[in-house]
Structure 1
Amino acid sequence: MTETESPAGPDATDRRKWLTPGVRGIGTASLLADVGHEIPTALLPSLLTSTLGAPAAALGVIEGVSDALAGAARFAGGVLADDPARRRKVAVGGYVTTAVLGAATAGATAVWQVGVLRAAAWTSRGLRVPARNALLADIVPAKMYGRAYGFERMMDNFGAIFGPLLALGLVAWLGVTWAIALSVIPGLLAAVAIIYAIRRTPRPTSRDRVPLKIRIRPVLKGGLGRLMAAVAAFEVGNVAATLLILRATDLLAPGYGTKTATTIALGLYTAYNLAAAIASIPAGRLSDRLGTRGPILVLACGVGAFALAYALFAVGNAAIVLLAIPFVLAGVGIGAVETAEHSAVAALAPKELRGSAFGMLATVQSLGNLAASGIAGILWSAVSPMAAFTYLTGWMLLALVGLGLSSRRGH
C-alpha cells in the first residue's frame, strides 16, 4: 500500500479528493433547493385554478414569462459570477431569495401577485445557477470535475423526486396554501448548505478580482465555442418532460382510462428522474477516466440515448414495459448530458471566464428548451405526435454530428 493510498483502497482515496465537504455542501444545496421549489411548482396549477379561480391559460402565461426571465437571469448571473468574490454573494442571495419568494406565493390573493412572485423567484433561481457551477469548479481538481458535477446532478435529480412526493404529503395534511408556505424551510436550508460549502472554498484575494463586463465573443471562441454550438443543437431538441408524460398518457388512455393512464405516466416520469440520478455519478466517473475528450464522449453517449428514446416515442407503444424503455433512456441521457456539459465547460473555460461560460451554457439550455417545447407542441397539434418526436430525433442526430466535429478538431 502506498503512502497516499488508504486502507480502503485507491477508490476511497480518490473519493476524498473530490467528495470534499465543499462538494457535499453544494450537492446538499441542490437537493434541498430542488425539493423547495418543486413544492410550489407542483401545486401552482391547483393554487391558480382551484384557490384563485384563474383560467388554465394564466398558468401558461405565468410559466412562460418566468422561464424567459430565468433564461435572461442566467446570462446576467454568469457575468456576475466571473468574479470569485461576487459569485459567493450571488449564490447565497439567489438561494435565499428563491426560497422566500417561492413560499410567498402562498399568501397571494390575486393572480397577478402569483405571477410577480413566481417570475421574481425564477429570476433569482436563474441568477444563482452559474455562480453555483463556478463555485464547484473552484474546489475540485480538474481531473475530477466529472465526478463532482455528477454528484451535484444526482442530488438535484433526487430533489426532483422527493419534492413532488413531499408536496402530496403536505397537501393531504395541511392543504395547498400551507404546503407552499412550508417550502421555505428546505429552500433556506439550501442557503445554509451553500454557505457551508463557501466557507470550505479558498477565499479569493484582490488578485482574483475580475471587472464586471459582458463577455460573449471570448466564450464562443475555440473549443468552448464548438462545444456551445453542439450543446445548442441538443437543447433545441431537448423537449420538456411534460411532453413525454403527455405522450405516455395518450398512448395508455384507450386501454386504461385517462385517470389511470395519468397515474402510470407520472410513475414513468419518476423512473425517468431516478434513472437520471443513478446515471450521473457513473457518467462523471467515465468522463474523468477518458481524459480530456471524456466529457465530449460522455455527452455524445447521452445525446445518443435521447435520440433512441425519441425514436421510440415517435413509434409509440401502449405496453407499459415498452413505454418504460424510452423514459429510462431519456433519464440516463439527461444524467449523462448535464454532467458532461458542466464538466466540459469547467475544463474548457479560462478561470476568469468561468462564470460567463456557465451563464452562456445555462442561457443556451433555457432558450433551447423553450424552442424545443414550443415547436414540438405545434407539430404535435398540427401534424401528429410522431412528427413531433421525429423532429426532436433529428436535432439529436445533428448534435451528435456537432460533437463529432468538436472532438475531431480537439480543444
Structure 2
Amino acid sequence: MLPAFLSNVLHASASALGLIEGLSDALIGVAKLVGGPLADDPRRRGRIAGGGYLGTALATGAIGLVTAVWQAGILRAIAWWSRGIRSPARDSLLASLAPPRAFGRAFGLERAGDNLGAVAGPLLAAGLVTWLGIRPALWFAFVPGIFAAVAITIAARQARRHDGVRRPIRLDFKGLRGAGLVRPLLPIAAFEFGNVAVTLLILRATQLLHSTGRSAAAAASLAIVIYAAHNAFGAVIAYLGGHWIDRAGPRLVFGAGAVVYVLAYAGFSIGPHSPWALLIAFSLAGAGIGFAETAESALVALLLPDRLRGSGFGVLGAVQALGDLISTVVVGVLYTTVSPAAGFGYAAAWMLASVLATLTGAFSTRPTVS
C-alpha cells in the first residue's frame, strides 16, 4: 500500500519512493549487524525480538496518520530498523528451541510462514483498501505485528535459560572466524550479489505481458498474481528444503537454490510473453530463495555455538542486505541502460559463481560446540 499512499495521497514522486525504500533497506543490514551481538545473550533475545515486532507494527500503522512525505520516510525507517534488529534474536530463539537434527525443518517452517504471509498480506490489504480506502487501511497494518510480538514473547519464555548467565555485548569476529563462518560467507555473498529485488522481476513480467496487447493495468494485475504464486511455491519449497537439509545437510540444498536461480534468470533474460512461461520462471526464483535462505540460516545454527549465534545471524543478515542492495542497483542500471537480458545475465553470473564456490567445499558445517 505504501507506493499508492505516497503517490496518490501525499503526491510524492517516484524518486521519493525510491529514496525511502533504498534507505530503509540499507538500515535493515545495519540493524541486523547491531542486533547480532545483542542476541548473543539469551536473557535479552525475547525482549529484542518482541520489541522489534512491536516497533515494526506501530511505525507501519502510524504511516497512515502522516501528512508529509518526510514523516512517512522517518516512520518507514523506524519500521525497517525494528525489522532488522529483531531478526538475529528471532533466529537465535528458534535455534535454541529446536534440536540440531531439526534445524532445517525449523528454519524451513519459518521461511514457509514468511512466504505465505507475502501471499495473504497483499490480498488482505487489497480488500481493506477497497473497503476503507488507502489511509485507513494502513492503520490496520499494526494488527499482525501485535500478534507476532505476543507469539515471540511466548516462544522466548520456552527458550529462556535457567543459568542466569549474562553475556557481554560485542561482535566477536575472532570467535566467528574460529568457528568457521568466514568460508561459507563467500558463496553466500556471491549468491546475494545475484539476488535481485523481486520488484524487478515483476517489472519484467509486466512489460512482457503488456507488449502482447494487454492494457497496462491488466498486465500489472496478472504479474502480481504470478508473483503471489511465486511466494506460495517458495513456501512449499522452503518447507520441503528444510526436511532435505536435515537429511543431506545445508550445502547441497544451498547449491540447488543457486542452480535453479540460474535457470530462472535465463527465463527472464529470454523474455517469454506467455503467462505460463513467466509462471515457471517466477516459480524457479521462488524455489531458489526457498532453498537458499533456509540453508543459510541452518548453516549458521549448525556451525556456531549458542553464545555466537546472535552475532552469526547478524553478520549473515548484513551480508544479505548489502548484497541485495548492490545487486538490485546494478541490475536496475543494466536493465535500463543496456537491456533486461544484460541485467539478468549479470545476476545469473553471480549465481554461477556461488555454485562453483559451493562445489569447492566453502559452504560446509561442523557440529555445534556448546
TM class by smaller structure: over 0.9
SS for the counterpart of 2:73 is helix
- State the match for 2:26 in structure 1: 68
Instruction: Say if 1:236 and 1:369, in contact at 8 Å, map to a contact too.
Output: yes
Cα distance between partner residues in 2 of 1:85 and 1:408:
31
1:92 maps to 50
The answer to whether structure 1 residue 393 and structure 2 residue 348 are counterparts is yes
Cα shift at 1:193? 0.8
For residues 35 and 107 of structure 2, the distance between their equivalents in structure 1, rounded to whole angstroms, comes to 19
Question: What's the offset of the Cα at 1:216?
Answer: 2.6
Aligned length: 365
Taking the TM superposition and a 5 Å limit, the aligned residue runs for 1:1-150 are: 43-150=1-108
Q: Which residue of 2 aligns with 1:257?
A: 215
Shift of 1:60: 0.7
Paired position in structure 1 for 2:202 = 245
Alpha-carbon distance in structure 1 between the residues aligned to 2:31 and 2:119: 25
1:211-222 correspondence runs (5 A):
211-221=168-178
Q: Distance in 2 between matches of 1:336 and 1:408?
A: 14
Alpha-carbon distance change, 222 to 205 in structure 1, aligned in 2, over 3 angstroms: closer
The RMSD of aligned alpha carbons is: 1.4
Distance 1:192 1:120 in 2: 20
Alignment partner, residue 173 of structure 1: 131
Aligned partners of 1:245 and 1:265 also within 8 Å: yes
Deviations, residues 168-203 of structure 1 (Å, cap 9, x unaligned): 100111111111111111110111111121122243
1:155 corresponds in structure 2 to 113
Residues 221 and 307 (structure 1), Cα distance of their counterparts in 2 relative to 1, 3 Å cut: farther
What is the distance in 1 between the residues matched to 2:332 and 2:61?
Answer: 30
1:54-103 deviations in Å (ceiling 9; x for gaps): 21211111111111111100100111101111122111111111111110
**Aligned equivalents of 2:319 and 2:363: distance in 1?**
23
Among 312, 320, 328, which residue is 1:373 paired with?
328
2:253 counterpart (298, 302, 312) = 298
CA distance in 1 between partners of 2:364 and 2:271 (Å)? 38
User: What is the CA distance between 1:257 and its match in structure 2?
Assistant: 2.8
Which shows bigger deviation, 212-221 or 68-77? 212-221
Contact 1:272 / 1:328 at 8 angstroms: preserved in 2?
Answer: yes
Give the aligned partner of residue 359 of structure 1: 314
Q: Residues of 1 paired with 2:91 and 2:145: CA distance?
A: 18
- Answer whether contact 1:85 1:204 (CA < 8 A) is retained: no
* Counterpart Cα distance in 1 of 2:26 and 2:173: 19
* Aligned counterpart in structure 1 of residue 153 of structure 2, from 164, 174, 195: 195
Identity score, percent = 47
Runs of 5+ consecutive residues of structure 2 not aligned to the other structure: none
> Residue deviations 1:317-356, cap 9 Å, x none?
1111111111111111111111111101100112211000
What's the TM-score once normalised by structure 2's chain length?
Answer: 0.96
- Structure 1 residue runs of 4 or more that deviate by more than 3 Å after TM superposition: 220-223, 407-411
Q: Is the 8 A contact 1:224 1:348 kept in 2?
A: yes
Asked whether 1:225 is paired with 2:158, we answer: no
Q: 2:236 — aligned with what?
A: 278
- Cα distance change on mapping 1:383 and 1:204 into 2, 3 Å: farther
Q: TM-score w.r.t. structure 1 length?
A: 0.86
Partners of 2:297 and 2:217 in 1: CA distance: 38
CA distance in 1, matches of 2:73, 2:185: 32
Q: 1 CA distance for matches of 2:231 and 2:208? A: 21
2:337 to 368, 382, 385: 382
